[in-house]
Amino acid sequence: MPPGVTKFLLDLFLWGAAGLLAYAFRKPDLLTLGIPSNVWGYLLLSVVVMGGLETYYSLHRQAWRRVGVLDLHRLGRAVLLATLVMFALGFILQGWLQLPRSVPVLAGVLGFLLLGGVRLLSRLSDERVRLRAAPQRRRVLIVGAGEAGTLIAREMQRHPEAGLEPIGFLDDEPSKVRTRVVGLPVFGPVAELPAVAAREGAQEVLIAVPSADGRFVRRVVDLARDAGLRYRIIPGVFEILSGNVNISQIRDVNLEDLLRRPPVQLNTAEIAGYLRGRVVLVTGAGGSIGSEIVRQIAPFGPATVLLFGRGENSIFSIQQELGRTWPEIKQVGLIGDVRDAARLRAVFERYRPEVVFHAAAHKHVPLMEEAPSEAILNNVVGTQNVVDLCLEFGVGRLVNISTDKAVNPTSVMGASKRVAEMVVSAGAARAREGQAFVSVRFGNVLGSRGSVVPTFMAQIRAGGPVTVTHPEMVRYFMTIPEAARLVLQAGGLAENGKVYVLNMGDPVRIADLARDVIRLSGARDVDVVFSGIRPGEKLYEELLTPSEGADATTHSEIFSARLGQVDAPALLRELRTLREHAEAKDDAAIRAGLARLIPENKFGSVR
């Protein structure tokens, strides 16, 4: 017999039994004197009504071995409706049924207990069978008794084959301490982790607070390490896109978790307003920032995404990824160089982009110190090419990706990016109504190409030491997805000519970052040594000069730098000269030209 039919018949049998028990409760001599015809009539009518509701609510299709709160809620609705119907029929047919008014109510309560009980017993039996068949499980202490912690504890209980046994929670919320959640105790605050772990025999700590900031994660990691326990984490809120938490999402703690900041709230309507249905061009689309911008653009439904960049392999990679994850979005891979104005013009003429994100740039400070001409040709001339074509073809929005190294620059790279900001501002002055050209300035991004973390990891794999240039060197850090999201949000603000500055949080000492990487890698006896500041580097970065200041915008994490007006004719004359020097590979003349363009520059000094 099919399982659904068996469940259907069993439910009706139990429902009929509940009605009979309700009658027996009201008239204890019912079973000894025999069941009269009016009782049989009530039971038959009750079973017919319940049979209809069983079919309507598909109760016989429920997976009893996986029954949950929503399943029991659905059962409760069917039972309540059946009870009300039988109560009404008992009143209407009182002359025939001679029904005590309390019988339908008692039958409903007993019916829910019987039908719900058989489902819970089925689930309990299945879990016991799987528990006996499961491998030896690691005892897991969960930090965070909120929704995420509750969900992950339930997942562990339902899937013992995963080898994880939740033993309880730690939570700093006083109202939760000494309570029980999904049958597990909340032992106390997080500070008691070492003592609770030792007392309860915990083997692993799981951080289940998706909204926790980096300080909290670091604190838990330090406590777990001191207790000699393995520590893992569930993803942050931006990684849990579906809103669900499951065992497969548990992963090791990484550096981004230790630097995690509170989640940034986005105005998605504002972003969608300028991206949906538009042709969007991303220069440097194969790079770490450019490719993440592409990923963040896709959910907003652009008509076409143009992936422009020099590296064919990186463009091919993001093209394939976009095709897998967003197959409905038209995308075009375009190999080219922003320094090649003719190639860029051909792209603009053929595809007519309406929104441009300009992420193509040279960003490596010491390498650009050795090749100033390349910094100028790529970062300045390339930006000028993009700006000129955006003006010519009436692009509605241009968002230029800048850097904190453009502030009080001590390096050729930083100076070239500051000049690029000026080029965009000068273009904004010539923009027509409805156009908005802006720059977005932010600091270092974790995981980007050329960032310190991959360098540290390579040194650790080689046995160390890990080299840091100076013990007091600090930098602002942001994750790549967070930076890309705020770039899209800044584009939505669209105040023509503005330079937006992202809130980068607190600066981080590079030496501390290196020690964190060593700690997370599990390496032992790896030292941090200091190699000295390299040409063009500062001890610390700034997002604004003291003379600039910043104004608030409609978004709490984005500010607008107060910049002086750009003298466009004078800038264009200097740019022509600077380009000539770059093409001639005249490094001294390039530095002199940058010094004229950026009076606040500090070439040759280290701050």
Q: Is the dihedral of CA 163, 166, 167, 172 positive or negative?
A: positive
pLDDT of residue 501: 78
**Tens of pLDDT along 20-30?**
888 888 777 65
Q: Which fold has domain 274-446+476-505+542-597?
A: Rossmann fold (3.40.50)
Q: Is the pLDDT of residue 571 over 60?
A: yes
* Residue 281: closest CA among 167, 225, 208, 357: 357
The predicted pLDDT at position 374 comes to: 94
Burial class (CB in 10 A: 0-12, 13-18, 19+), 6: exposed
Mean pLDDT over 358-380 rounds to 91
Q: pLDDT grade, residue 505 (50/70/90)?
A: low
CA distance 41 to 12: 15
Six-digit token string for 146: 């909120």
420-to-20, 274, 386, 601 alpha-carbon distances in Å: 85, 24, 11, 14
Nearest to 368 by CA among 603, 606, 543: 603
Residue written as tokens 């017993």? 121
Q: What is the pLDDT of residue 133?
A: 58
User: Per-domain residue ranges for the chain?
Assistant: 3-131, 138-258, 274-446+476-505+542-597
Higher pLDDT, 599 or 279: 279
Answer whether residue 443 shows pLDDT above 80.
Answer: no
Q: What is the pLDDT of residues 109-126, one digit of tens each?
A: 998 999 998 888 888 887
- Identify which has the larger pLDDT, 566 or 61: 61
The 10 Å Cβ neighbour count of residue 605 is 9
pLDDT at site 551: 54
Q: What is the mean pLDDT of residues 4-8?
A: 83
Amino acid found at 335: I
Residue that has been written with the tokens 């915990």 in this structure: 202
Confidence of residue 605 (pLDDT cuts 50, 70, 90): very low
- Looking at the predicted structure, is the pLDDT value of residue 248 above 70? no
Lowest mean pLDDT, pick from 224-228, 374-378, 432-436, 565-569: 565-569
- Higher per-residue confidence, 592 vs 521: 592
Q: Which tokens hold the place of 510?
A: 């590079």
Q: What band does 215 get if pLDDT is binned at 50, 70 and 90?
A: confident
459 versus 165: the higher-pLDDT residue is 165
Tokens standing for 315? 């463009």
pLDDT for position 604: 46
Question: 165-169, 397-401, 442-446: lowest mean pLDDT where?
Answer: 442-446
The CATH superfamily of 138-258 is NAD(P)-binding Rossmann-like Domain (3.40.50.720)
Packing angle between helix 412-430 and helix 382-392, nearest 10 degrees?
A: 10
With beta carbons less than 8 A apart as the criterion, state whether 542 and 507 touch.
no
Q: What is the pLDDT of residues 35-69, one digit of tens each?
A: 677 778 878 888 898 988 888 888 888 888 778 78
Q: Which residue has the higher pLDDT, 549 or 54?
A: 54
**HSE value, Cβ hemisphere, 13 Å, CA-based, for 340:** 13
Task: Give the range among 2-11, 168-177, 530-539 with minimum mean pLDDT.
Answer: 530-539
- Calculate Rg over the CA atoms of the chain: 33
pLDDT given for residue 335 in this prediction: 96
Label residue 263 by pLDDT band (50, 70, 90).
low
Task: Please enumerate, as own/partner, the contacts of 132-139 that have beta carbons within 8 Å and a separation of 24 or more.
Answer: 133/161, 134/160, 134/161, 134/163, 135/161, 135/163, 136/163, 137/163, 137/164, 137/165, 138/163, 138/164, 138/165, 138/203, 138/204, 139/165, 139/167, 139/200, 139/201, 139/202, 139/203, 139/204
Task: Summarize the confidence of residues 456-481 as an average pLDDT.
Answer: 76
Per-residue pLDDT band for 265 (boundaries 50, 70, 90) equals low
Q: 556 pLDDT band (50/70/90 cuts)?
A: low
The answer on pLDDT for 245 being more than 60 is: no
Which has the higher per-residue pLDDT, 225 or 393? 393
Burial of 92 from C-beta contacts in 10 A (0-12 / 13-18 / 19+): exposed
What does the block give as tokens for 487? 């770039």
- Cβ atoms < 10 Å from Cβ of 185: 16
Interatomic CA distance for residues 329 and 277, integer angstroms: 10
Do 138-258 and 274-446+476-505+542-597 show the same overall fold? Answer: yes
